[in-house]
Amino acid sequence: MQRTPIFGLGLAALLIATGPAQAAMFDSTIDPTTAFSTLFIDDANVNGGGDSSTTTAIGPQRNLDIPTGMGPLNISFEGIGLNFRGGTSTSEETLTITIEYLGADGALGGGDDLVLGTETATLAFTSTNIYTAIFDNPITALIDGVEDRFRFTVTSTGNMRFKQWGAMDSPSGQNGIKVSAGGTVTVVPEPSTLLLLGMMTSLGSAAMMRKRLG
């Protein structure tokens, strides 16, 4: 039976994504700037900005602080921070968070968008603040690493309202809902690099063996 090398597959086939899990919880006592292994973006500052309309769904797109142009990436999102304000439901609601990589063109709907995964988290809103959710299972995937633009789709069983930036005020330079997110990211070595590392390891082991025998 003919076997196809893994690097000959399309990225869609390589995608490893996590599905919905037992709900985590949005917590206003968690600081998103220190909650994650690496901070990919931090827009969720409680001060400044305007107010969004009341809604049950948002989908902000953001460029993240991750490597690009260095080869495929293993990326893992550990959680998300959002800046909720008055007008958000004060009943305990369930929020569903879906993270999508917008592909090599960096544009939504270009035909190469990849949904990386979905997690849920409950929110018991009390007052305007940054609320951070640490996912029970990080959203993890392999992407091509060409671009750094993602979409964060958040839907709720109740009303949500947010503090939001104008583009001139936002740390990320992007207007709209304030978003923080973080996790881990590593560059995946190309096959030629892996082969070279394997050869170097083998040669080093052989040299040590000859030295011992001599």
Q: What is the pLDDT of residue 45?
A: 79
Q: How many CB atoms lie within 10 A of CB 149?
A: 17
**What are the tens digits of pLDDT across the range 70-126?**
989 999 999 999 999 999 999 999 999 999 999 999 999 989 999 999 999 999 999
pLDDT tens, residue by residue, 148-157:
999 999 999 9
pTM above 0.95, yes or no: no
Spatial neighbors of 98 by CB under 8 A, at least 6 apart, are 115, 117, 118, 152, 153, 154
Q: Residue 55 — left, alpha, or beta (φ > 0 → left; ψ -120 to 50 → alpha)?
A: beta
